[in-house]
Amino acid sequence: METKDKLIRCARDEFAEKGYMKASLRSICNKADVTTGALYFFFEDKDDLFRTVVGEALEELEKVMFGHYSREDEADDAREQDDDDRQTAQNMMRVMYRYRTEFDIILTKAQGSSLENIVDRFVAVTREHHISIADKYSKGKWKREKTEMLMDWMARTVVDAFIYAFSHFENEEDAVNCVTEIGAFIRKGWFSTFV
C-alpha cells in the first residue's frame, strides 16, 4: 500500500497545484519515485486517480447530506427539522474543512475530469429532495408546473451557500456560522413559498 499511498499523496499535490487538466501523470510518478507502470497497476487512468484522491471527501459529504434528506423524508413534519437542518449544515461545513484541499480541488480544479459537474449533481439531488418535500407537505399550495424554475433556483442557492462559505472564509467557525445563518434564511423562505 505504500506505493499507492505515495501516488495518492503526490497526485493530490499535483491536482491542487495544477488542476486536473494540467496535471501530469509523469510528474506525479516522478514525485512518488515510481514508474508509470506502477501507477497503472493501481489506477485505470488519470480520472480514476483523481476520483480516488477526492473520493473519501465526497463520500463523507454525501453521507451527511443523504442522511439528512432521509431523516427529513421520514419526519412527520419537515418544518420541525430546524435542529437537524442546522446540525447538518454545520457537519457538512466541517467535512469540507477537514478535507479542505480535496474540496478546493473538486470545486475549482476538476475541469476535464468526470467530476467537473459535481456541483450540478448536488443541485439536482437537492432539487429532487425539495420537490419530494413540497409534494409531501404543500397540500396543493405549490404547483409544480408553475414553480419548477423557482425550485431549481432554490436548490442551487442551497448548494451555493456552502460553496460561498467555503471559498470566503479561511476560518472554519466563520464558515459554519455563515452557512447556518444563510440556511435559516433559505429555510424560512422555502417553507413560506412551498408549504
Residues 19-56 pLDDT 10s: 999 999 999 999 999 999 999 999 999 999 999 999 99
- Confirm if 47 and 114 have CB atoms less than 8 A apart: yes
- Confirm if 116 and 46 have CB atoms less than 8 A apart: no
CATH number of the domain bearing residue 36 = 1.10.10.60
| Stretch 1-14: mean pLDDT | 94
Q: Are residues 28 and 78 part of one domain? A: no
Residue found under cell 501523470: 25
pLDDT score recorded for residue 142 = 61
- The answer to the question of residue 49 being in a domain is no
Q: Are residues 65 and 9 part of one domain? A: no
Q: Are residues 94 and 7 part of one domain? A: no
Q: Are residues 21 and 62 part of one domain? A: no
- Confirm if 61 and 92 have CB atoms less than 8 A apart: yes
Domain span at residue 32 reads 1-43
CA–CA separation, 39 and 114 (whole Å): 19
CA–CA separation, 21 and 18 (whole Å): 8
For the chain, what is the domain count? Answer: 2
Q: Are residues 122 and 28 part of one domain? A: no
- The answer to the question of residue 153 being in a domain is yes
Asked if residue 141 has pLDDT above 70, the reply is: no
pTM for the whole thing?
0.90
Asked if residue 139 has pLDDT above 90, the reply is: no
Q: Are residues 120 and 30 part of one domain? A: no
| Stretch 78-96: mean pLDDT | 86
